[in-house]
Amino acid sequence: MHNKTIAQIARDLAAGEYSSVEVTQSYLDRIQQLDHNYNSFITVTAEQALAQAAAADAMRAAGNATPWTGVPMAHKDIFCTNGVLTSCGSRMLSNFVAPYDATVVANFNNAGAVSLGKLNMDEFAMGSSNESSFYGAVHNPWQLDHVPGGSSGGSAAAVAARLVPGATATDTGGSIRQPAAFCGVTGIKPTYGRVSRWGMIAFASSLDQGGTITRTAEDSAMMLNVMAGFDPKDSTSMQQDVPDYTANLNDSIAGLTIGLPKEYFRDDLSSNMQQQVRNAIAEYEKLGATVKEISLPNTHLAIPVYYVIAPSECSANLSRMDGVRFGHRCDDPQDVNDLFKRSRGEGFGEEVKRRIMVGTYALSAGFYDAYYKKAQQVRRLIKNDFVEAFKQVDVIMSPTTPSPAFKAGEKTSDPVAMYLEDIFTIAINLAGLPAMSIPCGQVDNLPVGLQLIGNYFDESRLLNLGHQFQQVTDWHQQTPADLV
């Protein structure tokens, strides 16, 4: 049963093949048996899940079922869940039982979905290897001594290990696409403003965007149908109609133009990686697409821009974690400053502290123009590169990552080396564009991801392209060898 996709489970439930309680119980059992290998869940909400499943079965019996009624899934632990621990992978929030639901969570609840629990992640979504979680590192189901990527490493690993058919995730600089690539699953980060950020604990507000990790593009479309939409509680949410993302999955892609940015196919990319990605693009050509080389000349500035903007925003976003109203509080504070400094010093891990300090420095007196303002200006140049490119092409493709999953511990001592992992994904967040990673090959028994970048609000096209690829290839069906 665990090899079924969301679409299959939805069809089976509708056909009465099994009940929601049965499928939910089977996933819960599987999590209990296997997750000690991966550490992908922080919290498993078995009781609530079974209650939701029973309610879903009753809904169905009453003839009120929707496509999502009774389908199991899980949330990244960055989404607030009313009455359930929402830790964001941090000691700081290790006692934070959220008093409300994120809009995304409420949307899934309203659709009748069953949440199995909360998924592990890099602390406050800062990281590319899921090694910075207070709840321990997550292991890549393909090779346990390799990282699953981050920050949505728990979401990617759980889906890859078939512990859950689909999961929510968030992406600030690649945090959906990079782990999806590392774990051989499908991940989509929608256009900035497409999915509500209400109740999604902020890392870098102008870059954060919620999305999904699933095994197939079709499942991603089903998840986005629930997640996407305008939210009056989020000022950055866009008032734009939401299409049925499953409607165009089967459209022909003949005649589409694919742009290949020369800056993303660099010489230092291993020939193995290059080959996997080129093969995938050749599949698209077989499906009738044409390929065109393009240039995104400011690509090399994306990482510097990101490492000014993201730390600056996070330094302010995390200031509310002060030990006063919620979260970790140090013992016996001597005075208010001691309360702030020790609660924060103890509550945050190293990488989070580093980024807060970088951001604090970049915003401090005399540096604002040189760092933050400059970065916001260069950010526009990066966006303009894409705007120009989309005048010539319908979609842009590239490798998702420069290499397959690296070994655990390999980059933890060198933050800058870790930052360079996101070199192909970061610019897309800066521009606010939608992008997807789909499995497109393997190198050394580790999956390789193909990144598809779309124009604003062109999620349907990305899903269509992903689905068409998955109709003619089976990379998305490959299973880690250890898995039964």
Partner 1 sequence: MEWEVVIGLEIHAQLATKSKIFSGASTAYGADANTQACAVDLGLPGVLPVFNEEALRMAVKFGLAIDAEIGKRSVFDRKNYFYPDSPKGYQTTQLHHPIVGMGHIDIELDNGSSKRINVTRAHLEEDAGKSVHEGFGGMSGIDLNRAGTPLVEIVSEPELRSAKEASAYFRKMHSIVTYLGICDGDLSQGSMRCDCNVSLRPKGQQEFGTRTEIKNVNSFRNVERAIDVEIERQMDVLEDGGTITQETRLYDADKNETRSMRSKEVENDYRYFPCPDLLPIIIDDNYIEAVRSTLPELPDAKRKRFIESHQLSANDAAVLASSRTLADYFEIAAQAANDYQLAANWVQGDVSATLNRLEIDISELPVNAEQLGRILQLIKDNTLNNGGAKEVFNALVALGEAGKADSTVEKVDALVDSMGLKQVSDTGAIEAIVADVLANNPKLVEGYLNTPVEKRGKAMGPFIGLTRKAAKGVNPQVVMEVLKKKLEELG
Partner 2 sequence: MALEQDQVRNIAELCRLQIDDAQIAAYQNNLSNILELVDQLSAVDTSDVAPMAHPLDAVQRLRADQVTESNQREHFQQIAPATERGHYLVPRVVE
Minimum distance between the CB of residue 379 and partner 2, rounded to whole angstroms? 5
- Smallest CA-to-CA distance from 60 within 27, 114, 13, 104 is with 13
Binding-residue pattern over the window 185 to 214 for partner 1, x denoting contact by CB under 8 A: ------------xxxxxx-xxx--------
Whether 361 contacts 106, CB under 8 Å? no
Minimum distance between the CB of residue 154 and partner 1, rounded to whole angstroms? 18
Q: Which of 31, 49, 80, 217 binds partner 1 (CB under 8 A)?
A: 80
- Residue 297 binding partner per list partner 2, partner 1, none, with a CB distance cut-off of 5 to 8 Å that depends on partner kind: none
- Beta bridge partners of residue 167, listed in sequence order: 74, 213
Task: At 123, list the tokens.
Answer: 């602390």
Distance, in Å, from the CA atom of 153 to the CA atom of 237, rounded to the nearest integer, reads 26
- Residue 312 binding partner per list partner 2, partner 1, none, with a CB distance cut-off of 5 to 8 Å that depends on partner kind: partner 1
Q: Which is nearer to partner 2, 37 or 236 (CB)?
A: 236
Buried b (16+ CB within 10 A) or exposed e, 71-107: bbbbbbbbbbbeebbbbbbbbbbbebebeebbbbbbb
Minimum distance between the CB of residue 347 and partner 2, rounded to whole angstroms? 10
Q: Which of 66, 130, 132, 315 binds partner 1 (CB under 8 A)?
A: 315
CB atoms within 10 A of CB 370: 11
Minimum distance between the CB of residue 24 and partner 1, rounded to whole angstroms? 26
DSSP state, residue 323 = S
Minimum distance between the CB of residue 169 and partner 2, rounded to whole angstroms? 19
Interacting residues with partner 1 between 369 and 398 (CB under 8 A): 372
Minimum distance between the CB of residue 419 and partner 2, rounded to whole angstroms? 7
- Residue 80 binding partner per list partner 2, partner 1, none, with a CB distance cut-off of 5 to 8 Å that depends on partner kind: partner 1
CB atoms within 10 A of CB 148: 35
Q: Does 273 bind partner 1 (CB under 8 A)?
A: no
Peptide bond into 271 cis (omega under 30): no
Distance, in Å, from the CA atom of 15 to the CA atom of 226, rounded to the nearest integer, reads 21
Q: Does 109 bind partner 1 (CB under 8 A)?
A: no
133, 151, 220, 237: which is the annotated catalytic residue? 151
Whether 312 contacts 124, CB under 8 Å? no
Candidate segments 63-71, 293-301, 361-369, 392-400, binder of partner 1 by CB under 8 A: 361-369
Alpha helices in 148-228 (DSSP H): 153-160, 177-183, 217-227
Q: Is 391 a catalytic residue?
A: no
> How many residues would you count in the chain?
484
Q: Which is nearer to partner 1, 368 or 414 (CB)?
A: 368
Sign of the alpha-carbon torsion through 78, 424, 140, 439:
positive
Backbone angles phi, psi at 114, to 5 degrees: -110, 120
Strand pairing report for 186-189 and 209-214: antiparallel
Minimum distance between the CB of residue 332 and partner 2, rounded to whole angstroms? 9
Task: At 139, list the tokens.
Answer: 């292991």
Strand pairing report for 166-171 and 446-453: unpaired
Whether 296 contacts 384, CB under 8 Å? no
Q: Does 97 bind partner 1 (CB under 8 A)?
A: no
Distance, in Å, from the CA atom of 67 to the CA atom of 80, rounded to the nearest integer, reads 24
Segment holding 291, helix H or strand E: strand 290-294
76, 118, 189, 411: which is the annotated catalytic residue? 76
- The CA distances from residue 368 to 203, 204, 208, 431, in Å, are 19, 17, 22, 21
Q: Which of 254, 282, 324, 357 binds partner 1 (CB under 8 A)?
A: 324
Interacting residues with partner 1 between 13 and 72 (CB under 8 A): none
Backbone angles phi, psi at 188, to 5 degrees: -125, 130
Q: Which of 319, 377, 445, 477 binds partner 1 (CB under 8 A)?
A: 319
Q: Which is nearer to partner 1, 336 or 472 (CB)?
A: 336
Whether 181 contacts 401, CB under 8 Å? yes
- Beta bridge partners of residue 169, listed in sequence order: 211
Q: Does 336 bind partner 1 (CB under 8 A)?
A: yes
- Residue 238 binding partner per list partner 2, partner 1, none, with a CB distance cut-off of 5 to 8 Å that depends on partner kind: partner 2
Q: Which is nearer to partner 2, 183 or 310 (CB)?
A: 310
Q: Is 175 a catalytic residue?
A: yes
Q: Which of 44, 93, 181, 446 binds partner 1 (CB under 8 A)?
A: 93
- Beta bridge partners of residue 292, listed in sequence order: 259
Q: Which is nearer to partner 1, 118 or 162 (CB)?
A: 118
Minimum distance between the CB of residue 121 and partner 1, rounded to whole angstroms? 14
Q: Which of 233, 266, 300, 407 binds partner 1 (CB under 8 A)?
A: 233
Q: What is the dihedral of CA 87, 88, 89, 92, to 10 degrees?
A: -60
Candidate segments 275-283, 296-304, 314-322, 445-453, binder of partner 1 by CB under 8 A: 314-322
Q: Is 364 a catalytic residue?
A: no
- Residue 433 binding partner per list partner 1, partner 2, none, with a CB distance cut-off of 5 to 8 Å that depends on partner kind: partner 2
Q: Which is nearer to partner 2, 238 or 269 (CB)?
A: 238
**Which residues carry out catalysis?**
76, 151, 175
Which residues make up the interface to partner 1 (CB under 8 A)?
A: 79-80, 86, 88, 93, 96, 98-100, 102, 197-202, 204-206, 232-236, 312-313, 315-316, 319-322, 324-327, 336-337, 340, 360, 363-365, 368, 372
